[in-house]
Amino acid sequence: MRHQKALNIKTLLETSDLAQVMRKGLALNELNQQLQTRFPKQFKGLFRVANFTQDKLIIETANATIRQALLFQQAELLALIQEMQPEISKLNIKVSPHLFSL
């Protein structure tokens, strides 16, 4: 420990795994807020952005009825998403019953 080079704590925190997780969480939250305002009003508050990969966006909803309604409009919703995130080419909608139970 005595012979190790001193590290800049700011650099260490910015490049850590925790910092990457925090940045992705903030990006998910921001995208969720944007989609809540851009998706049709009947879906507002009934879904959330769960994750995204290079080309896929994963959306969670509390029940199968909302999922089915989102699937019926999947092409239009994907076009809205691509206006903000052009790299997204797939939409995956999952049911998560515990989503709004808190």
* Type of residue found at 48: R
- Please name which of 77, 76, 86 lies closest in space to residue 59, comparing C-alpha atoms: 77
The 10s digit of each residue's pLDDT in 23-77 is: 899 999 999 999 999 999 999 989 999 999 889 999 999 899 999 999 999 999 9
Element (H, E) at 49: strand 47-52
**Distance between CA atoms of residues 70 and 61, nearest Å:** 9
DSSP code, position 54? S
pLDDT classification of 99: cutoffs 50, 70, 90: confident
How many Cα atoms within 13 Å fall on the side-chain side of residue 96?
Answer: 17
pLDDT classification of 101: cutoffs 50, 70, 90: low
Any idea what the Cα angle at residue 75 is, between residues 69 and 78, rounded to 5°? 100
